[in-house]
Amino acid sequence: MLTQAKFDLNPMGEIITGRLQFSGGIISAVCGDETYFEAPLEGIQELVIRPYVGCATLELVPENSPEDMSESLEVCRFSMACVEEIGEFCKVINHYLSTGEETEISTEGFRVCPKCGRHYAKGLSTCLFCVEKGYLAKRLLGLAKPYAGTLLISAFFVILSSACSALLPVLNARLIDDYLYSETLAAGAKVHGVIAVALIMAGSQVLSRLFNIVSKRKANVASGDLSNDLRVMVYDKVQRLSASSMSQKTSGDLMKRVSNDTEKVKNFIVEQGMYALEKLLMFIVILVILLSISPLLTFIVLVPVPIVTYAIHKFWSTIRVRYQKQWRCESRENSILHDIVRGIRVVKTFGSEKREIEKFSSASKRLADVCVSNEHMWAIAFPLLQFFMGIGEFFVIYFGGRMVINNTISVGQLLEFNLFLAYIYQPLRWMSSLPQRLGDLAASLIKIFEIIDEKHDVEDAESPKPADLDGEIVISSLRFGYKAYEPVLKDINLRVQQSEMIGLVGHSGAGKSTLINLIMRLYDADAGSICIGGTDIREMKQHEFREQLGVVFQENFLFTGSVYENIAYARPDALPSEIIAAAKAANAHNFIMALPDGYNTLVGEDGHNLSGGERQRISIARAVLRNPSILILDEATSALDPETEEQIQQALARLVKGRTTFAIAHRLSTLRNADRLVVMEKGRIAETGSHRELLKNNGIYARLVMAQRSTSKLSKDE
Q: What is the pLDDT of residues 281-326, one digit of tens each?
A: 777 777 887 788 788 887 877 777 777 777 766 666 666 667 667 7
Q: Is 102 exposed, middle or buried (0-12, 13-18, 19+ CB in 10 A)?
A: middle
For 48-77, the pLDDT digits (tens) are 888 887 788 999 988 877 766 677 889 999
pTM of the model: 0.63
Predicted confidence at residue 717, as pLDDT, reads 47
Question: Which residues in the chain come in under a pLDDT of 50?
Answer: 714-718
Helix (H) or strand (E) holding 514, with range, is helix 512-519
| C-alpha–C-alpha distance, residues 305 and 295, integer Å | 16
Predicted confidence at residue 715, as pLDDT, reads 46
CATH architecture type of domain 3-99: Roll (2.30)
Q: Is 517 exposed, middle or buried (0-12, 13-18, 19+ CB in 10 A)?
A: buried
Other beta carbons within 10 angstroms of residue 407's beta carbon come to 7
Contact criterion met (CB below 8 Å) for 573 and 625? no
Predicted confidence at residue 491, as pLDDT, reads 87
Q: Among candidates 164, 422, 179, which has minimal Cα distance to 290?
A: 422
CA 717 to chain centre: 52
User: Cα-flanking dihedrals φ and ψ of residue 295, to 5°?
Assistant: -60, -35
Query: Considering Cα of 452, then 455, then 459, then 460, what sign does the dihedral take?
Result: positive
Q: At what angle do helices 187-240 and 148-165 cross, to 10 degrees?
A: 160
Contact criterion met (CB below 8 Å) for 480 and 489? yes
| C-alpha–C-alpha distance, residues 571 and 627, integer Å | 10
Query: How many Å is the maximal CA-CA distance in the chain?
Result: 125
Query: Considering Cα of 200, then 205, then 206, then 207, what sign does the dihedral take?
Result: positive
Pairs from 88-93 (Cβ < 8 Å, separation ≥ 24): 88/5, 88/484, 89/3, 89/4, 89/5, 89/20, 89/22, 89/47, 89/58, 90/47, 90/48, 90/49, 90/58, 90/484, 90/485, 91/484, 91/526, 92/3, 92/22, 93/3, 93/22, 93/27, 93/41, 93/47
| C-alpha–C-alpha distance, residues 616 and 126, integer Å | 40
Other beta carbons within 10 angstroms of residue 133's beta carbon come to 11
Please name every residue paired with 678 in a beta bridge, in sequence order, or none if there are none: 504, 688
Q: Is 323 exposed, middle or buried (0-12, 13-18, 19+ CB in 10 A)?
A: buried
Q: Residue 168: CB partners within 8 Å, gap ≥ 6?
A: 201, 204, 419
Other beta carbons within 10 angstroms of residue 21's beta carbon come to 16
Other beta carbons within 10 angstroms of residue 128's beta carbon come to 21
| C-alpha–C-alpha distance, residues 585 and 651, integer Å | 6
Tell me the C-alpha to C-alpha distance, in Å, between residue 224 and each of 105, 141, 221, 231: 46, 17, 5, 11
What is 133-453's CATH topology?
ABC transporter transmembrane region fold (1.20.1560)
Predicted confidence at residue 718, as pLDDT, reads 45
Predicted confidence at residue 76, as pLDDT, reads 92
Please name every residue paired with 530 in a beta bridge, in sequence order, or none if there are none: 475
- What is the SS3 assignment for 109? coil
The residue ranges of every structural domain in the chain are 3-99, 133-453
Q: Is 716 exposed, middle or buried (0-12, 13-18, 19+ CB in 10 A)?
A: exposed
Domains 3-99 and 133-453 belong to one CATH topology: no
| C-alpha–C-alpha distance, residues 108 and 524, integer Å | 14
Contact criterion met (CB below 8 Å) for 598 and 592? yes
Contact criterion met (CB below 8 Å) for 661 and 632? yes
